[in-house]
Amino acid sequence: MATELPRTEVVVVGLGAAGGVAVLPLVNAGLEVVGLEAGTWLAPADFAPDELRNNFRGWPQAVQKANREIPTHRPSASAPPSPRLAIHPMMNAVGGTTLHYWAQSWRLNPWDFKVVSETRRRYGASRIPRGYTVEDWPIDYSELEPYYDKVEVEIGVSGQAGNVKGVIDGRGNVFEGPRARPYPMPPLRGTGFTDMMATAARSLGWKPFPGPAAVNSGRYQNRAACVYHGFCARGGCHVSAKGSTAVTTIPKAQRSKRLTVVTEAHVTTVAVNAQGRVTGVTYLKGGTEYFQPADVVLLAGYVYENVRLMLLSISPAFPKGLSNNHGQVGRHYFSHNQLSTVSALFPRDLNAWYGLPAQGVAIDDWADDNFDHAGLDFIGGGNLWVYSDRRPIAAAGMSTFGRAPRWGAQWKAFVTENADRANTAYLQKTTLPYEDNYLDLDPERKDPLGFPVCRITADYKENERRLADFIQDKMIQWYRAAGAIATEKTGVGTMGPSTHAYGGTRMGDNPDTNVVNRWGLSHEVPNLGVLGASVMGTSGARNPTLTAQALAWRTAEYIAKNWKAVAP
Ligand SMILES: Cc1cc2nc3c(=O)[nH]c(=O)nc-3n(C[C@H](O)[C@H](O)[C@H](O)COP(=O)(O)OP(=O)(O)OC[C@H]3O[C@@H](n4cnc5c(N)ncnc54)[C@H](O)[C@@H]3O)c2cc1C
Ligand code: SF4
């Protein structure tokens, strides 16, 4: 029998990127909030620049929840299961994965919100890939812009604007949607390597720009500036220059005294009454079961856990899982096509032994619908990103570009000479949802508590494969223009567990095809909200977190402003 706790107004499940942002507008509006977080607080001492520990043996967290419930994967309903990942690098701690993420903080392009209507308008309906389930978002870029702006200021984003109120600035991304104002901080500085790549891009007639990062380029809101020493690609920042929610929005919300953070609280189910409204959540802490009653419940445990918690929360009102009477929980799932990449070998050292992966140069000429697809056999595009970050173990894993064997004395000699001469680009590409890609509960694999883990049934389709080929060729062109003497492509792979997962609780006006409405609240359960990229219906060509955070702020603000209508 669970111990029943005093009622609160809002309970947020998971204090990561999305939940950690949502708590601030809620408490600012005067609401009492309990944040239930499976992990613990981490301290600067936990963020040692230790590649072996952070990148290969897991990472500095006390609670290993994500690792114990790694989703299983099969490419299709008739395919055998894929080998299971050894670790899944999402973080379990206050601040969630923003503690050790790369901190690239991109807005989506306006096209990403209107993929269906814009593709039909420009190229005709036949260009939408077969089997797709993509819909236009119920909101457009301009409706999200004020929330992008709020989050950029709160977490501190460095960058160079390319479009402020329609005034184009060639130093920034000329393809971006209009911004209300510039970034709160100038961009992170470049390096000799990124400057060389920017010059090469210009020689091709392309438009390079420094990418946006939730990393301080100068002292900001009492947090230190980045010192560019690196080792934070899956490691935390010991000087708090990275704008994790653990050092930005969560402590700010705590200062209101209206946010109670409960750590090591593992939420297992969401409770529902006979009227089909949520009444609170059950969680385990230190072996004891608690029930936290709440007027409103917000799920923010990342895509796989949001879906899993809903499917595990069975009740007479929702026999197929919470908010799943339309059978949409788990549908429209996809993960970013980011595996197919390109590496290059240069004839000289690049001096990339320092810096961080958010410190780089981007090309958006081939992203989204920024170029004419009339003669092409795919829609969407990719963001080309090269950055400064090199660590010893990763460097030793470099390709030999067919110039040396992969072992022995010749391999050692090759790596010794070339470890600082190679570079691998990060290529994020548009990925779409399809009817046969989805999440459900695995019928066999369980977590240590005995609950089924999430099962991913998904693979990349023709559109993603053709697009990947095209983007890789563009990247090769860029590297060659910069003087690369060899290049190598990797394959697309399959759509296994991802750090850029999307969908499963998609946002849309139609309850027959979407779980949450345009405000992020369930169509079927008026006092249940879902936060994170599980509500996103398209990925665009860039990382998801800033968009998930902007949406989380918007949902929280809507709840606060419409409290009487949302809460029972
Ligand atoms: C190495 C790495 C680099 C990345 N780099 C970037 C980048 O540069 N830019 C970008 O945009 N994105 C990046 N990402 C992705 C980014 O981290 C995610 O998009 C983002 O953190 C997702 O936000 P979230 O709030 O949904 O999940 P999280 O930030 O993971 O937060 C979820 C929280 O919920 C808690 N939780 C889970 N289940 C429960 C439960 N049952 N009960 C209680 N608490 C629970 C977890 O402990 C966690 O703290 C990166 C990810 C990784 C792993
Ligand atoms: S490189 Fe910058 S963001 Fe990374 S740990 Fe160092 S100071 Fe922090």
Q: Is the CB of 398 under 6 A from ligand 1?
A: no
Question: What is the number of the ligand 2 atom nearest to the C-alpha of 236?
Answer: 5
Q: How far is the CA of 228 from the centre of ligand 2 (A)?
A: 5
* CA-closest candidate to residue 500, choices 139, 154, 224, 90: 90
Q: How far is the CA of 123 from the centre of ligand 1 (A)?
A: 36
Please choose from 189, 237, 238 the residue to mutate so as to test ligand 2's pocket, defined by most ligand atoms within 8 A of CB.
Answer: 237
The C-alpha angle with vertex 532 and arms to 178 and 38, in degrees rounded to 5, equals 145
Q: How far is the CA of 418 from the centre of ligand 2 (A)?
A: 26
pLDDT at 183 over 90: yes
pLDDT at 540 over 90: yes
What's the number of CA atoms in the CB half-sphere (13 Å) around residue 421?
Answer: 18
Q: What is the dihedral of CA 44, 47, 49, 52, to 10 degrees?
A: 160
Whether the Cβ atoms of residue 163 and residue 179 lie closer than 8 Å to each other:
yes
Whether the Cβ atoms of residue 441 and residue 452 lie closer than 8 Å to each other:
yes
Nearest ligand to the CA of 336 is 1
Whole-number average pLDDT of the chain: 96
Q: How far is the CA of 101 from the centre of ligand 1 (A)?
A: 8
Q: Is the CB of 99 under 6 A from ligand 2?
A: no
Distance, in Å, from the CA atom of 9 to the CA atom of 6, rounded to the nearest integer, reads: 10
Please choose from 54, 242, 390 the residue to mutate so as to test ligand 2's pocket, defined by most ligand atoms within 8 A of CB.
Answer: 242
Q: How far is the CA of 16 from the centre of ligand 1 (A)?
A: 6
For residue 521 the two structure tokens come to: 């609240």
Nearest ligand to the CA of 225 is 2
Distance, in Å, from the CA atom of 311 to the CA atom of 306, rounded to the nearest integer, reads: 9
Q: How many CB atoms lie within 10 A of CB 225?
A: 16
pLDDT at 568 over 80: no
Q: How far is the CA of 3 from the centre of ligand 1 (A)?
A: 29
Question: pLDDT tens for residues 87-137?
Answer: 888 999 999 999 999 999 999 999 999 999 999 999 999 999 889 999 999
Question: pLDDT tens for residues 244-298?
Answer: 999 999 999 999 999 999 999 999 999 999 999 999 999 999 999 999 999 999 9
Q: Is the CB of 239 under 6 A from ligand 2?
A: yes
Q: Is the CB of 265 under 6 A from ligand 2?
A: no
Q: Is the CB of 90 under 6 A from ligand 2?
A: no
pLDDT at 58 over 90: no
Question: What is the number of the ligand 2 atom nearest to the C-alpha of 215?
Answer: 3
Nearest ligand to the CA of 91 is 1
* CA-closest candidate to residue 384, choices 256, 472, 457, 306: 472
Q: Is the CB of 229 under 6 A from ligand 2?
A: yes
Q: How far is the CA of 17 from the centre of ligand 2 (A)?
A: 18
Helices (H) and strands (E) in the chain, counts: 12, 22
* CA-closest candidate to residue 133, choices 511, 539, 500, 513: 513
Question: pLDDT tens for residues 135-148?
Answer: 999 999 999 999 99
Question: pLDDT tens for residues 277-290?
Answer: 999 999 999 999 99
Please give the share of the chain, as a percent, with pLDDT higher than 90: 92
Predicted pLDDT of residue 547? 98
Q: How many CB atoms lie within 10 A of CB 28?
A: 15
Q: What's the pLDDT band for 338 if we cut at 50, 70, 90?
A: confident
Predicted pLDDT of residue 130? 87
Q: Is the CB of 338 under 6 A from ligand 1?
A: no
Predicted pLDDT of residue 365? 98
Please choose from 97, 387, 426 the residue to mutate so as to test ligand 1's pocket, defined by most ligand atoms within 8 A of CB.
Answer: 97
Predicted pLDDT of residue 30? 98
CA torsion sign for 48, 54, 55, 56 is: positive
Predicted pLDDT of residue 162? 98
* CA-closest candidate to residue 387, choices 215, 540, 538, 236: 215
Whether the Cβ atoms of residue 293 and residue 5 lie closer than 8 Å to each other:
yes
Q: Is the CB of 250 under 6 A from ligand 1?
A: no
Tell me how long the chain is: 568
Please choose from 34, 247, 499 the residue to mutate so as to test ligand 1's pocket, defined by most ligand atoms within 8 A of CB.
Answer: 499
pLDDT at 221 over 80: yes
Q: How far is the CA of 408 from the centre of ligand 1 (A)?
A: 39
Q: Whose CA is nearest to atom 48 of ligand 1?
A: 96
Q: Is the CB of 241 under 6 A from ligand 2?
A: yes
Predicted pLDDT of residue 388? 87
For residue 365 the two structure tokens come to: 């000429």
Q: Which residue has the tokens 């470099």?
A: 398
Question: What is the number of the ligand 2 atom nearest to the C-alpha of 47?
Answer: 5
pLDDT at 175 over 90: yes
Predicted pLDDT of residue 61? 78
For residue 246 the two structure tokens come to: 């653990």
Q: Is the CB of 498 under 6 A from ligand 1?
A: no
Q: Whose CA is nearest to atom 7 of ligand 2?
A: 226
What is the mean predicted confidence (pLDDT) over 231-237? 92
> Mind giving me the DSSP string for 445-465?
EE-TTSPEEEEEE----HHHH
Nearest ligand to the CA of 38 is 1
CA torsion sign for 98, 509, 323, 292 is: positive
Distance, in Å, from the CA atom of 548 to the CA atom of 502, rounded to the nearest integer, reads: 10
Q: Which residue has the tokens 């790694």?
A: 70
Q: Whose CA is nearest to atom 35 of ligand 1?
A: 14
pTM of the complete model: 0.98
Q: Whose CA is nearest to atom 27 of ligand 1?
A: 302
Which DSSP letter does residue 112 get? G
What is the mean predicted confidence (pLDDT) over 435-448? 97
Q: Which residue has the tokens 């209101």?
A: 256
Q: Is the CB of 39 under 6 A from ligand 1?
A: yes
pLDDT at 59 over 80: no
Question: What is the number of the ligand 1 atom nearest to the C-alpha of 213?
Answer: 8
Query: Do β-strands 8-13 and 288-299 pair in parallel, antiparallel, or remain unpaired?
Result: parallel
> Mind giving me the DSSP string for 339-400?
---EEEE-SS----SS--TTSEEEE-TTSTTSS--TTSS----EEEEEE----HHHHHT---
Q: What's the pLDDT band for 357 if we cut at 50, 70, 90?
A: very high
Please choose from 46, 100, 227 the residue to mutate so as to test ligand 2's pocket, defined by most ligand atoms within 8 A of CB.
Answer: 227
